[in-house]
Amino acid sequence: MTDHATTGAAQFWETWYSGVDRAWSGRPNTALVTTASNLLVGRTLDLGCGEGADSIWLAERGWQVTGLDVSATAIGRAQAAAAQLTIPDGHLSWIAHDLATWTADGVFDLVSACFLHSPVEFPRTDVLRRAAGLITPGGHLLIVSHAVAPPWATQLDTHEHRFHTPAEEIEALDLPGDDWQTLLAETWPRETTSPDGVPATLDDAVVLLRRR
């Protein structure tokens, strides 16, 4: 068993993605589709983009997307998936980099962080707070997370993790109240299927903030 206490995020996720043929379904996250469908198209940063389903969905709808993930294997799969589709030039770029140390040279109309959880040490709140600073006035920060751990997520057993409620997520970010408006802070049920093919309902914490 991997010692999560001594494994860095980059090593953990590269090993994890390399150990499976495909980690995710290839479908965009439901909460992202629901919320982004109502936003004006612009530039977006997809934090922890994994194998790229959210980034690809956004790019197909006209967003200029930067997909960022710590795992080079995940980014390679995202690039391969995007190459099978017709996406306008300049609408999709990929970066393999540690989110904890990555810096941007631009600004974004949407920063999306869907299920940005880690069973190894990772400065999640700090990453989200810094990413919020990249959002233009009128832009949005979307955070979608597990309200509770999926019952099959046994890798969390050796890592003490407490999932935030939407209100706790906003409180932890501690963004200036005069600069940000809360549009959504809710728990949404989501129908899914376990890795063993069993239907399940999970609860997602959904936070959507708008920069004034």
pLDDT digits (tens, 9 = 90+) for 137-164: 999 999 999 888 777 665 544 445 678 8
d(CA 188, CA 32): 12
Alpha carbon 176 to chain centroid, angstroms: 22
Assign residue 139 the CATH number of its domain: 3.40.50.150
Question: Under a CB-based contact definition with an 8 Å cutoff, are residues 142 and 35 in contact?
Answer: yes
40 within domain boundaries: yes
Nearest to 42 by CA among 56, 57, 26, 62: 62
Instruction: For residue 152, give the nearest of 190, 206, 200 by alpha carbon.
Output: 200
When divided into structural domains, the chain yields a total of: 1
Q: What is the pTM assigned to this prediction?
A: 0.88
How confident is the model at residue 196, as a pLDDT? 73
Q: Is residue 3 domain-resident?
A: no
In a domain, 2, yes or no: no
Say if 107 falls within a structural domain. Answer: yes
Report the SS3 class of residue 3: coil
Give residue 21's pLDDT band: very low, low, confident or very high (50, 70, 90): confident
pLDDT band, very low/low/confident/very high, at 120 (cuts 50, 70, 90): confident
The verdict on residue 110 lying in a domain is: yes
70 part of a folded domain: yes
Query: Domain residues for 44?
Result: 9-211
Bigger pLDDT: 55 vs 6: 55
